[in-house]
Amino acid sequence: MSDCLGAACVAIGLLVLGGLVSSPLGGIGAALAFGTSLVTLSFLVTTPEAWMPSLGDPQNGFPFLSAAGRVLLKDSVVLAGSFALLVQSSKAMRR
């Protein structure tokens, strides 16, 4: 299963890279990267192991991301970057 996921990530990356040559390829890759990041970021809400209990007392503490939660935060950068690429490729296709 992880091999398939890795192959899908590499394929999406190659599609994004293909945007240097073809705007539609880049748009497809950016849309897939955006969707993948959006799904992965939803794990922050649905996975209880992503958050540690509050560091202070229950009333005044703040939630702290566990190691698994911090790994997921990189997807917020990928989400923003893929959105920017999606907008750029859609503008290029409109021309």
Residue in the block written with tokens 């073809």: 22
Residues contacting residue 2 through CB under 8 Å, at least 6 positions apart: none
**pTM as predicted:** 0.80
- Among 11, 61, 58, CA closest to 36: 11
Check: CB of residue 68 under 8 Å from CB of residue 52.
no
Host domain of residue 25: 2-94
Q: What tens digit of pLDDT does each residue of 33-85 get?
A: 999 999 988 888 888 777 777 666 666 556 677 887 888 888 899 999 999 99
Phi and psi at residue 80, to the nearest 5°? -65, -45
Q: How many folded domains does the chain comprise?
A: 1
Strand extents, DSSP E, 1-95: 51-52, 64-65
